[in-house]
Structure 1
Amino acid sequence: MAIKITLGNSKGGVGKTTTTCLLAISLAKHFNQRVLVVDFDAQADSTDFLMRTFGVQTDLTNHPSIFDAIKSPKHAAASVLPLDDNLHIIPSGEELSGLDLLLFEKGVFGKFEAGLYLDLVVQQIEHDYDFILFDVPPTSNIQNINAIVASDYYIGVMMTQAKSYRQMAGFLKESDKTATSARNSKYGYEGAKLLGILMYLENKKSNIDYTVISAAIETYGDAILYSRVYERERVKRYDLIPPNPNKFDQHDKKIFAMYDSLAHEILMRVGQLAETEPKLRIQQLLEQAADDLNQQEYDTLAEALDAAQFYRDEIVEERDFTSTQLATALRDLFRDTPTQKRRVVIHRIIDWLQTEQDLKSLVNSVNV
């Protein structure tokens, strides 16, 4: 049975579709997972992105869409469009805007049963996949209800903007309401669970972004995913020139390192990996400071953090700070340090790792 996940937010323009598509590629290409993307948005952005990325030129006017599958769930398999060996999509199109009318004609509009149709589609095909990802529009409508009912988990995608932070509460509330209704229905649903909230940063070095992150951590706590995604010019360029998933250049590799980290954490949270690998956690600790470090400096710090077992939450928390606070402190230290003094800072960090001192002591030792 596939693990089914909806990625969403009540606000548009937060990187939801981009995240869904690049996460799907990462799971399929780098983790050998069989992945199906269901484009459940009439704008069909994920359909366009993934078809261009994999060079698929199928004429969709002659190919069944998700709307056709909803009309006839028993024929859902016919709507699946292969993109690569491990990655398929059920495409969407403008006809999906007529979903409300279709459900009205079926006599279920306004009833709980109107939210079951996507799941009827999924039941026909999920045995062929490890993961099914739903791309939904940024509004609370029948598409979102169907996606949450059909999902095992949902992920909130939150850009580090005040409005996106506020809208996240609405998405989580509506998703939980739908999941609870499904759980309490006569149809035997377990109800989707919150898998986590992904921070999509506009500016890696912006204090505003980290103010929003701090507020989100205070509000949502452990629901915040360790993995972060940063807005990059390269990703914007993908709208014109999509990545070649079989031949990444150095810039693409940096992009997909973020999504590989996200994929790894998702696999861990859904129980497909026993525990987070130390290498990944160390990478996440240093990610914010990475742009200010050369490879040798990065490797030196990574080895020191690994030796001090800072990939273990309990080791960090014994000093009364979190991994996020440590990552932010490392970012600030290197952002404000001239290149010629970085070596001294690195050695003071290494010395500090051998103590039981708190973050304030680290900052004070560096600023001496």
Structure 2
Amino acid sequence: MAQVITFGNFKGGVGKTTSSVMFAYILQEQGYKTLLVDLDPQANSTSFLANTFEVSLNNFVSIYEAMEMEDLSKAVLSMSANLDLLPSAVDLVKFGDLLNQKNKGHAGNKHYYFDYLLGELKDNYDFVIIDVPPTISENTNNALVASNYSLIIMQSEPDSLAGAIDFNDYIKGMKQFNPDLEVLGVLPYLVNKRSKIDEYILEKSLSEDLNIKDLVFKSHIYERERVKRFRINGITSSNNRDFHDKKTLKMYEKVVKEFLKRMDEK
């Protein structure tokens, strides 16, 4: 059965979506059967992945429509032999209303709806990666209840550090609904080696007075122009990669290696 990981932070624009897609992409390249779930109505993971694999998003079934039908398999889009996508669209803003309809008189069950539906797909995958909005919402709650782990993405700037701490604290509260949920780690993202501010934020995240000190990854995602280009053009295919593509992907591969090691040690 798949290991389910929610990528999160309560600050937007910190690399959560990019990291979700890059991890899913690298895992499938390494032969792991992977499902990327886009639970954000902005659908950025959906467009990024579809752009990478040149998959048309015309007339697809959205994850919201599949949840209405109580069958997530209706929305699964194949990106490659090892990578599938549950695509999002703007209709996902109605997720809270859908939960109210599906759980009339059982408000406490709302957090479990996505987990219930995902159970039908888990046996098909090694990993399920969930991208969520940077908000306290039913999208995030349902993702965390369905997850084994959460990976917190932390850009090296003050608001992102605060968002990472808040997300970690929020997960502790979600354990009442999912006692097995654990934080796999905090991943520093787009770190500028020459920036004093970045250096300060990283040092701050490792300070004794913060509750994430022991969670911070040793491997980092450093600031590279190619990461931004991937977001525009999609991830470069293996037969067209130049030096910068390979160096960027190698950086992510190092982080994924630590990600897998941390999971094995749990």
Same-fold status (TM-score > 0.5): yes
Q: Does 1:45 align with 2:44?
A: yes
| Partner residue in 1 for 2:91 | 95
Q: Does 1:196 align with 2:185?
A: yes
Check 1:108–1:200 CA distance in 2 against 1; reply closer, same or farther (3 A cut): farther
Q: How does 1:27-46 map to 2 (within 5 A)?
A: 27-29=27-29, 31-46=30-45
| Partner residue in 2 for 1:115 | 111
Post-superposition shift, 1:72?
Answer: 2.7
Please list every run of 5 or more consecutive structure 1 residues that lacks an aligned counterpart in the other structure.
184-189, 275-368
1:8 partner letter: G
Post-superposition shift, 1:47?
Answer: 0.4
Post-superposition shift, 1:141?
Answer: 0.6
| Partner residue in 2 for 1:72 | 69
Check 1:239–1:109 CA distance in 2 against 1; reply closer, same or farther (3 A cut): farther
Q: Does 1:241 align with 2:233?
A: yes
What do residues 2-51 of structure 1 show as CA deviations (whole Å, max 9, x unaligned)? 0000010000000000011011111111x211110000000000000000
CA distance in 2, matches of 1:197, 1:204: 18
- Does structure 1 conserve the Cα–Cα contact (< 8 Å) formed by 2:114 and 2:146? yes
| Partner residue in 1 for 2:120 | 124
CA distance in 2, matches of 1:250, 1:110: 55
- Does structure 1 conserve the Cα–Cα contact (< 8 Å) formed by 2:190 and 2:224? no
Q: What secondary structure is seen at the aligned counterpart in 2 of 1:155?
A: strand
CA distance in 2, matches of 1:104, 1:68: 15
CA distance in 1, matches of 2:234, 2:140: 27
CA distance in 2, matches of 1:213, 1:114: 37
CA distance in 2, matches of 1:108, 1:10: 29
| Partner residue in 1 for 2:217 | 225
CA distance in 2, matches of 1:11, 1:155: 14
- Does structure 2 conserve the Cα–Cα contact (< 8 Å) formed by 1:145 and 1:175? no
| Partner residue in 2 for 1:6 | 6
Post-superposition shift, 1:239?
Answer: 3.1
> Percent identity between the aligned chains?
35
Q: What secondary structure is seen at the aligned counterpart in 2 of 1:52?
A: helix
Decide which of 171, 174, 182 is 2:177's aligned counterpart: 182
Q: How does 1:1-368 map to 2 (within 5 A)?
A: 1-29=1-29, 31-59=30-58, 61=59, 63-73=60-70, 75-108=71-104, 111-178=107-174, 180-183=175-178, 190-218=179-207, 219=210, 220-247=212-239, 248-271=241-264
Post-superposition shift, 1:58?
Answer: 4.1
Check 1:128–1:212 CA distance in 2 against 1; reply closer, same or farther (3 A cut): same
Post-superposition shift, 1:110?
Answer: 8.5
CA distance in 2, matches of 1:69, 1:111: 21
2:176 partner letter: S
1:159 partner letter: Q
Post-superposition shift, 1:255?
Answer: 1.1
2:222 partner letter: Y
Please give the TM-score of this superposition, normalised by the length of structure 1: 0.68
Check 1:110–1:255 CA distance in 2 against 1; reply closer, same or farther (3 A cut): farther
Give the aligned CA root-mean-square deviation in angstroms: 1.7
**Number of aligned positions between the proteins:** 262
Check 1:226–1:109 CA distance in 2 against 1; reply closer, same or farther (3 A cut): farther
Please give the TM-score of this superposition, normalised by the length of structure 2: 0.93
CA distance in 2, matches of 1:56, 1:196: 32
Post-superposition shift, 1:103?
Answer: 1.6
What do residues 70-92 of structure 1 show as CA deviations (whole Å, max 9, x unaligned)? 2233x221211000011110000
Q: Could you list the runs of 4 or more consecutive aligned residues of structure 1 that deviate by over 4 angstroms after TM superposition?
A: none
What do residues 120-144 of structure 1 show as CA deviations (whole Å, max 9, x unaligned)? 2210111010000000001111100
Check 1:214–1:55 CA distance in 2 against 1; reply closer, same or farther (3 A cut): same
Check 1:109–1:206 CA distance in 2 against 1; reply closer, same or farther (3 A cut): farther
Q: What secondary structure is seen at the aligned counterpart in 2 of 1:169?
A: helix
Quick check: 198-207 or 5-14, which moved more? 198-207
Q: What secondary structure is seen at the aligned counterpart in 2 of 1:124?
A: coil
1:116 partner letter: Y
